[in-house]
Amino acid sequence: SLGPAIFVGGWAIQQLWLFWVAPILGAVIGGYFYNAVLNVEEAKVKDEEFMSKV
């Protein structure tokens, strides 16, 4: 997206920030979601604790 934006200029360069911010923001949100909801390591520890008590 950087090459075509530089070639076209004007409005394309003005919108270029979105192509940088959106993926970074998505990665931050995805990382938080993974740690908050899908934390696999914590689930493994809980499973091991449960199995040791059985």
Quick: pLDDT tens for 4-24.
888 888 888 888 889 899 999
Q: Is 17 domain-assigned? A: no
Confidence of residue 50 (pLDDT cuts 50, 70, 90): low
Q: Is 6 domain-assigned? A: no
pLDDT of residue 25: 98
Q: Is 14 domain-assigned? A: no
Q: Is 36 domain-assigned? A: yes
Question: Is residue 47 pLDDT above 70, yes or no?
Answer: no
Q: Are 19 and 1 in contact (CB under 8 A)?
A: yes
Four-residue CA torsion sign, 24, 25, 30, 32: positive
Range of the domain at 49: 23-54
Number of domains in the chain: 1
Q: Is 1 domain-assigned? A: no
